[in-house]
Structure formats: structure tokens, C-alpha cells
């Protein structure tokens, strides 16, 4: 079925703040978010899209500035792959060559560890972009007579219409058109919308947030739209409007249908790379607890050779995990529980029943659980993180509790963005 295209409303010009001090700066280094950083008598100035060694003329507003002219470009500067780069806020680093990009990404991890006083060997970054990101969130809001749909511009609530995105997986090629049509159908509420679109083995899985409950008439219209767009599943705020096919994801030998809007690693290759690092750190573990387990990307792979107990606060994710495990013959025993590990972390006597702990918390980290781990006797902890800063904080707690940080491997599945994943392996002395 050919895609149905509904043209977006043209993006309005970005509002500019009053700017001061037109001046020339020399960029000394890159910041954590990819901005060029210049040292001035008044302090640091952050210049988006500037590179180390460059001389740039800018208009400045306090500690932030905008490039007017690049007087002396860096040899590391390259042409961006997307015409929307610098307008769309999704990418921060399309202007960096490969070497500078790799140094910057790995440097985010080494810098965070140094600031936390944690000594560790940091491997070279694994490129896990693969075919591209399999999930994207489009934002929509009413502009005049129509709905403007796109991505946020950098550090702004302005929207940039995105007809195509080069970092998305081929399975999301229709996503901008799908988001536009659904936003048009839902635009009558006048509310801002978030449309999360995921590529699955059986088609697009869409969860819309911001609209509120839908009456029977709107649900019928959305069901007809899902049919017309050939969606696998369409949900509103996690409530399934129509499931035409199960939106399956492959996790090891299992097939899993995550709950609507449920967490999923950004790329299929990224998930496989992280899971491989986790498994490689646990060659002899027989009983493993997978904390913040989501819908089971690690549990289902580890269960091919070990008993695994999965703990996750999202009930729908736990149910998806168990359904996935039930469909795979020959797995070791898989158990699961729904539990908020921020409020009710596993206690020492619970943790000590396992040979190893795997944890993959959200960006805030897992301080409450880590404090319990630091007091437990578990031989190995494998910590998967999407935030180098909170990982470093939690790593310092584990080290203070007697663990040694064996090594850290950065994994880049958010190409051109400031985000970096990592896997850290902790061993307690004398235990394996």
C-alpha cells in the first residue's frame, strides 16, 4: 500500500533572543553536549557547532553565543549529511570528522569518571548505529489552520518540520508522513501531541501522548487511519486503539511485543552490542538478576545459559518479557516481578542469592539500588547506563563498597547526538 502523504504546515521562523557583544572567539575544546567552548575573561562561552581551534565571529548573550562567521575553520570540519542540521535539535555533531567525533564521545565517559574520582580502563567506543534508529518521537501542535509536525530545535520549543531524517532506520521512512496524518486527525483538541513511532518486524507501532481519552467516534476514525496507513498497532497514552498485527522485536531467539510506548534500545545493533558485552562479562554465572529489565533484551539472551530473575516497574513490560520467554523452547528458568527499584530496591539478602546482577536504569541512575549492592556480597555487577554522569556517581559508590571497576565500554547508538551508552563491569575482590 503506498504511503498517504499530507503536507505539513511550513515552519515559522525561530524567535531570536536579544543578543549582545558581537565579537571574535577562539574555540578551545568541545563541551559535553558538543558545543565549542571558548575561554574569555568573563568565563566560558558555549558556541554550538564550533570546533576546537576555530576562530569564529559570534553574537553573544552571556555564556552562550551564535556563529555569524567561521573565520578560520578546523581541519576536522566536514559537511553535514542533513540540510536541517543546526536547525533541528536532534543532531549535535554532523560537522565533526570521524576522529574528532570518536574522541568527543569517548571523552564524555572518561571525563565523568575522572570528575567522580573513579579509575577505570575505558575501551574504544563501539559504533552501534547499524541501520539507524528504530524509534522516533515527533511533536505536533496547531499552527494556524493546520498541525505543524516535526522535531524540536536545539534548546527550544520551536518545531522544525522534518520530511525525512537520515539517522532513522529504513523501517521509519514513512514515519514523518504517518505522524502528520495522525496529528491532523487528532488536531481538533488543540493540544500539543507527542507521537512515538517504532519500527517493528511487522510494521509501525505508534503511541500518541498528550491528547487525552478518545470517544467512540474518534477511536473509529483512528482505527480507519491505522488501516489506511497499514500500522501494526496504534495506541493513545498506552491504551491500544487497534492492534492489527503484533509489533514484534527480535531479542536473541525470542520474539517480544513491547507494551505501547515501552522502552526499547535505540537501534537493533546497539541492543545486540550491549547484550553481547553483558553476556561476555558473565561466562560462568548460573543465577542472574536483571534489574530494570524492561521487556527482556538481556534476560532473554542470558536465559539461553543461566537462570534469570527479571525485575521491572512497568507491568506491561514484565508481561511482554514473560510471553517472549514462553515462546522459546530450551531456555533456562525465567522468573519476573513488577517492582519499583527506586522505592523498593532489592535488599542484601535478596541480592546475595545471585551470582551476578545486571542493571540498566534510566538516565537518573540507580543510587538506591547501588547502595544496597555496595553492602551485598554479589561477585559481579554489570551496569548498563545511558548517562555517564550518573554512572560515574553510582560507580564511586560500588568502588567504595569494595568492588573494582574492571572496565568500561562506550556504545554509540545515537550517532551525531550527545548521548552515549556504556557498559561497566564490577568485580568484588576474591569472588568470581
Cα dist. 428→350, 354, 402 in Å? Answer: 17, 13, 6
Pairing of strands 43-47, 135-143: unpaired
Query: Which are the contacts of 337, defined by CB distance < 8 A and separation ≥ 6?
Result: 309, 310, 311, 318
Q: List the catalytic residue out of 91, 165, 295, 386.
A: 386
Whether 165 sits among the annotated catalytic residues: the reply is no
Tell me which residues are annotated as active site. Answer: 386
Amino acid at each position: 500500500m503506498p504511503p498517504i502523504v499530507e503536507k505539513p504546515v511550513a515552519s515559522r521562523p525561530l524567535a531570536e533572543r536579544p543578543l549582545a557583544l558581537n565579537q571574535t572567539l577562539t574555540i578551545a575544546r568541545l563541551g559535553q553536549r558538543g558545543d565549542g567552548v571558548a575561554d574569555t575573561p568573563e568565563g566560558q562561552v558555549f558556541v554550538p557547532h564550533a570546533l576546537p581551534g576555530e576562530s569564529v565571529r559570534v553574537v553573544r548573550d552571556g555564556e552562550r553565543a551564535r556563529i555569524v562567521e567561521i573565520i578560520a575553520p578546523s581541519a576536522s570540519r566536514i559537511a553535514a549529511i542533513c540540510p536541517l542540521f543546526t536547525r533541528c535539535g536532534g543532531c549535535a555533531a554532523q560537522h565533526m570528522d570521524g576522529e574528532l567525533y570518536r574522541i568527543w564521545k569517548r571523552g564524555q565517559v572518561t571525563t565523568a569518571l575522572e570528575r567522580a574520582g573513579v579509575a577505570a580502563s575505558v575501551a574504544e567506543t563501539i559504533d552501534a548505529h547499524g541501520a539507524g534508529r528504530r524509534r522516533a518521537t515527533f511533536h505536533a501542535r496547531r499552527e494556524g489552520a493546520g498541525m505543524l509536525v516535526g522535531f524540536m530545535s536545539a534548546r527550544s520549543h520551536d518545531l522544525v518540520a522534518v520530511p525525512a531524517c537520515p539517522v532513522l532506520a529504513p523501517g521509519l521512512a514513512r514515519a514523518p508522513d504517518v505522524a502528520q496524518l495522525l496529528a491532523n486527525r487528532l488536531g481538533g483538541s488543540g493540544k500539543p501531541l507527542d507521537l512515538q513511532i517504532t519500527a517493528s518486524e511487522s510494521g509501525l507501532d505508534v503511541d500518541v501522548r498528550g491528547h487525552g481519552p478518545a470517544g467512540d467516534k474518534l477511536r473509529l476514525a483512528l482505527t480507519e487511519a491505522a488501516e489506511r496507513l497499514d500500522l501494526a498497532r496504534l495506541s493513545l497514552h498506552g491504551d491500544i486503539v487497534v492492534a492489527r498485527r503484533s509489533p514484534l522485536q527480535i531479542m536473541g531467539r525470542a520474539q517480544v511485543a513491547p507494551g505501547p510506548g515501552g522502552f526499547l534500545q535505540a537501534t537493533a545493533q546497539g541492543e545486540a552490542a550491549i547484550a553481547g558485552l553483558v553476556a561476555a562479562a558473565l561466562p560462568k554465572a548460573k543465577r542472574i538478576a536483571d534489574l530494570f529489565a524492561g521487556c527482556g533484551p538481556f534476560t532473554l539472551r542470558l536465559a539461553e545459559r543461566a537462570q534469570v530473575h527479571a525485575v521491572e516497574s512497568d507491568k506491561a513490560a514484565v508481561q511482554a518479557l514473560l510471553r517472549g520467554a514462553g515462546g522459546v523452547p530450551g531456555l533456562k528458568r525465567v522468573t519476573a516481578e513488577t517492582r519499583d527499584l527506586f522505592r523498593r530496591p532489592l535488599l542484601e539478602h535478596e541480592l546475595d542469592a545471585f551470582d551476578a546482577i545486571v542493571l540498566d536504569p534510566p538516565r537518573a541512575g540507580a543510587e538506591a539500588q547501588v547502595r544496597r549492592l555496595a553492602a551485598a556480597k554479589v561477585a559481579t555487577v554489570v551496569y548498563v547506563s545511558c548517562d555517564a554522569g550518573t554512572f560515574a556517581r553510582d560507580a564511586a559508590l560500588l568502588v567504595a563498597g569494595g568492588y573494582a571497576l574492571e572496565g568500561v565500554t562506550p556504545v554509540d547508538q545515537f550517532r551525531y547526538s550527545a548521548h552515549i551508552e556504556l557498559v561497566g563491569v564490577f568485580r568484588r575482590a576474591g569472588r568470581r
